[in-house]
Amino acid sequence: MSKTHILAIPYPAQGHVIPLMELSHELVKHGIKVTFVNTDFTHNQITKALGEEKGVVDNEIQLVSIPDGLEDGEDRNDLGKLTEAILKDMPMKLEMLIEDINKSSSNKITCVVADESFGWALEVANNMRIRSVAFWPASASMLALAFRVQQLLDDGIIDSDGTPTKDGIIQLAPMMPSMKTKELLWTCLGGFTAQKIIFDLMRRNNKAVEVADWIICNSTYDHEPAAFALAPEILPIGPLHACNHVGYLAGNFWPEDSTCLNWLDQQPNNSVIYVAFGSYTVFDHNQLQELALGLELSSKPFLWVVRSDINNNEINHKFLREFEDRVSPYGKVVQWAPQQKVLSHPSVACFLSHCGWNSTMEGTTSGVPFLCWPYFADQFVNEAYICDIWKVGLRLDRSGGIITREEVIYKIKQVVHDEKFKARALELKELAINSVKEGGSSTKNLSNFIDWIKA
């Protein structure tokens, strides 16, 4: 008998690959075959990051790849350019891939699960008469905002390029985060050209998603009740979580340094500041130095993820080496951490985070209070959730253009010493965990989704 066979295709970014991979593992557990399509570039990053671990990775998800349309060495952090290249090349390549799979396998693709940002992949599925699902790896409130772009245009809040007509604040509904118009998702992705390309893409995605049979998202009703009330077509199935077993394919772009888990074992309970900024954030040297000195002087143990490209590949190794020597043994620096395991470690007291949605879900599911240092895209809205709606963390003051060491020291003290943050973080953790227990709201959505996908 042929198996249900889905094709999963994420947007080529770390924060999109990881949650779709987690969902794919969930589907495999239910006897569904998954072909996971990365771009050649991210596929190479993932296999390189696996290194020697490659041999132990379960072969349950088939990894394949297609080109993203850019040449080797072109800047893939230029989101406008990357988007244009993708739109030109990938739809045809995806169609050809599906045709090849369907010709050569008795398990034909029965459903395409595509990142919502890849509306074109939903269009390909629709043209090929294959069922489709839009997967949204960010907050429901961000997607609800995207769905209301036409209304923002009609109300004169933005112009046809997506540029705000004036500085102001919008709130889609009471109890949803306030959004500064100058921090709307598409306005802070890196310059006007990128803004325009991505804004147009979002409008196209709004149309494409109409053909999708489901819109699922990595969140919970308890995290975002008002957003789900506003956009009930979005169904939460989160928090998605990685398995802990050896050989689990997480989809990391950098090799995980697990030595920090032994280091955490040696720290007192509820003492460590975990500092990580996801996969995109870059700092200039001044800012990196202020943060380093703030951590050094905060008199708390800390674990800091410093990606090799956090300083645009111009990292000052001498500064970092001397810093590491000075702070050892109470401070540890790694290039990439097993973040979910770190956040659930009892030694961790606080998460100094860029507030990417995955990090936000992972931190709240672990009951850890936050210090917020958003960088771009949806991270300002996630910061508003953390500080204003859930009240499980504090903002760092960036009004002077740089976050100073004094501010880092002051806010670490505040968030760690005020027990209300921890108490509220634990309440949110309980709600998050309940939603994925038997009978929980996300479990019900996921189980209905899996029944549908297998039907």
Site residues for ligand UDP per CB under 6 A = 13-15, 18, 252, 276, 278-280, 305, 336-337, 339-340, 356-359, 362
Segment holding 317, helix H or strand E: helix 317-327
In terms of CB distance, is 354 or 411 closer to ligand UDP?
A: 354
In terms of CB distance, is 158 or 264 closer to ligand UDP?
A: 264
Q: Which residue has the tokens 């060491």?
A: 405
In terms of CB distance, is 37 or 276 closer to ligand UDP?
A: 276
- To the nearest whole angstrom, how small is the minimum distance from the Cβ of residue 356 to ligand UDP? 2
In terms of CB distance, is 142 or 337 closer to ligand UDP?
A: 337
The distance of Cα 287 from the centroid of its chain, to the nearest Å, equals 23
- DSSP secondary structure letters along 244-255: -STT-----SS-
Residue 340 token pair? 């979910």
Residue 436 token pair? 């994925």
Angstrom CA distances, 193 to 82, 119, 188, 206, 359, stand at: 12, 20, 11, 20, 28
- To the nearest whole angstrom, how small is the minimum distance from the Cβ of residue 22 to ligand UDP? 9
In terms of CB distance, is 15 or 177 closer to ligand UDP?
A: 15
In terms of CB distance, is 339 or 442 closer to ligand UDP?
A: 339
Q: Which residues of 233-252 are buried (b: 16+ CB within 10 A; e: fewer)?
A: ebbbbbbbbbeeeeebbbbb
- To the nearest whole angstrom, how small is the minimum distance from the Cβ of residue 213 to ligand UDP? 25
**At a CB cut-off of 8 Å and minimum separation 6, what does 23 contact?**
8, 113, 135, 216, 218, 237, 240
- To the nearest whole angstrom, how small is the minimum distance from the Cβ of residue 95 to ligand UDP? 28
Which burial class, exposed, middle or buried, applies to 103 when counting CB atoms under 10 A from its CB (0-12, 13-18, 19+)? Answer: exposed
In terms of CB distance, is 114 or 125 closer to ligand UDP?
A: 114
39 contacts 12 by C-beta, under 8 angstroms? yes
- Residue (of 341, 337, 291, 295) closest to 311 by Cα position: 291
- To the nearest whole angstrom, how small is the minimum distance from the Cβ of residue 102 to ligand UDP? 32
- To the nearest whole angstrom, how small is the minimum distance from the Cβ of residue 370 to ligand UDP? 12
The pairing of beta strand 348-353 with beta strand 272-276: parallel
In terms of CB distance, is 125 or 355 closer to ligand UDP?
A: 355
**At a CB cut-off of 8 Å and minimum separation 6, what does 223 contact?**
139, 236, 238, 361, 364, 385, 390, 428, 431, 432
- To the nearest whole angstrom, how small is the minimum distance from the Cβ of residue 163 to ligand UDP? 24
- To the nearest whole angstrom, how small is the minimum distance from the Cβ of residue 355 to ligand UDP? 8
